[in-house]
Amino acid sequence: MEILLLPLTHSLSKTQLNSTHHLLKSTTTRSATRFLHHRHSNQNRQVSLPLTPGSDYTLSFSLGSQTISLYMDTGSDLVWLPCHPFECILCEGKYNPTTIPNPNPLNLTSASLVTCKSRACSAAHSSHSSSDLCAIVKCPLEDIETSDCKSYSCPPFYYAYADGSLIARLYTDSLSIPMSSPNLVLRNFTFGCAHSSLAEPIGVAGFGRGVLSLPAQLASFSPQLGNQFSYCLVSHSFETNTVRRPSPLILGRYSMDKAREKQLRNLEGEFVYTPMLDNPKYPYFYCVGFEGVSIGGRRITAPEILKRVDGRGNGGMVVDSGTTFTMLPNEFYEPVVAEFNRRVGTVYKRASQAEDRTGLGPCYYIDDSVDMKGRNVPQVVLHFGGNSSVVMPRRNYFYEFVEGDDHGKIKRKVGCMMLMNGGDFENSGGPAGLFGNYQQQGFEVVYDLEKRRIGFARRKCASLWDTLNQR
């Protein structure tokens, strides 16, 4: 079996977020909240914060006899889902169920509880040994000493989010991933089952670096499937009326005959790779070094905190599929914005009201008669560790939309820079920056776990889906 090809579904809710301002403001707020939660957590385990529509990508598979859909997230290493009966407190308005395939809680019909002595139980309760966990569920001492606590199940565990939380238990069941032929079935797939949550209505498929993640469990079945995965996010630009194409999620390494390989190269470019950095405090994060940003040819060097991770887990940049916008520490964000504004602000008037409404900035009123070809917006290049540079498409860092005044009468075109201020690093610790999924659109992002590196290649992602489906 060479690869598994799965569709990632992106959705926007027209009923919930019926204006561009509302959608952007909601997404910038959640991006900042998630990033700050990554920094400030005192827990040994940091779990993903699922985001509102506009930044979420879901995948579907079968568990037991039921089909479920979960958010795909490289920022966490656990698969969890809501189970029947399920109570979600303060979930009204969190999402529109019609935008998520198979949103109903799972009925546990064939699943089995995980034992307190299992490695999976220790991984979920990362601060406790298996003997401690068995003692919690009252396994007798003589059974703990002889490792004979199989009839005692793993105790429930608590997960806290930036704006919600849940209590879950570990189960195993057969997971079926749809393929052409035959279906791939993982007989003892481990997942968390939550019967109650606070403000968290949808489960998560964790793709982070940990034994409970989906790639790790795939690797135990088939190393060639679990040692590498990639995805290619089809550009959406917050437009609710666009035709939705699937974004390919590729598990395993693909190879092609010469004709197909040439076809793939025509999709736009070769991979550039940056090494993964180990983070002792957050071992499940995909951390990389970030060296700087070039604005219109002028390179602004990143501070040391972005280039490496220290022994306490502070610094570096996290590559995260579950956060929308890229976050930079304030000491680096300010010179980047100053250089961008030096080039754009002399041509276009600042749109401060749009900045307040969207949470983005700087924003400008765009006059196409002044700049028909967009030359007044400088090119942005991101420089990662390992001497790898990624040229960003303009739509990945400068979003243009039409807005009205307070009465909705005067329509003006506005453009906003899409990088965000992550705040002061000195007082917080943890990751110094975060590379979000909006900036990853139009690239195939590969996570090579065997060679411990992350790669980026420009792609027409919808065409990549079509090409791989021809195999």
| Alpha-helical runs (H) found in 155-286 | 214-221, 223-226, 258-265
Segment holding 5, helix H or strand E: strand 3-10
Please state whether beta strands 66-73 and 204-206 pair in parallel, antiparallel, or not at all (unpaired).
Answer: parallel
Collapse the DSSP code of 445 into the 3-class scheme (helix H, G, I; strand E, B; otherwise coil) and give the result. Answer: strand
* Annotated active-site residue in 56, 73, 77, 173: 73
ω into residue 103 within 30 of 0, thus cis? no
CA distance 250 to 467: 12
* CA-based max dimension of the chain: 82
d(CA 190, CA 457): 33
Question: Contact at 8 Å (CB) between 446 and 230?
Answer: yes
Catalytic: which of 56, 77, 173, 320?
A: 320
Q: Which residues of 174-201 are buried (b: 16+ CB within 10 A; e: fewer)?
A: ebbbeeeeeebebeebbbbbbbbbbbbb
Q: In sequence order, what DSSP letters do the residues of 16-48 get, joined into one string?
A: T--SHHHHHHHHHHHHHHHHHHHHH--SS----
* Contact in structure between 225 and 3 (CB atoms under 8 Å): yes
Name the DSSP letter for residue 315. Answer: B
Using the structure block, give the residue that is written with the tokens 């009205």: 404
| 168 touches 80 (CB < 8 A) | yes
Rounded-to-integer distance, Cα 26 and Cα 12, Å: 12
Q: Residue 316 has which token pair?
A: 């570096």
Contact predicate 195/24, CB 8 Å: no
Task: State the sign of the Cα–Cα–Cα–Cα dihedral 15, 21, 25, 28.
Answer: positive
320 assigned to active site:
yes
Q: For 123, how many CA atoms within 13 A lie in the half-sphere containing its CB?
A: 22
- Of the candidates 210, 28, 157, which has an alpha carbon nearest to the alpha carbon of residue 36? 28
Tokens of 72: 């795909």
Quick one: which of 276, 275, 258 has its CA closest to 266?
258
Backbone angles phi, psi at 163, to 5 degrees: -135, 25
Angle between helix 461-469 and 258-265 (nearest 10): 170
List residues with catalytic annotation: 73, 320
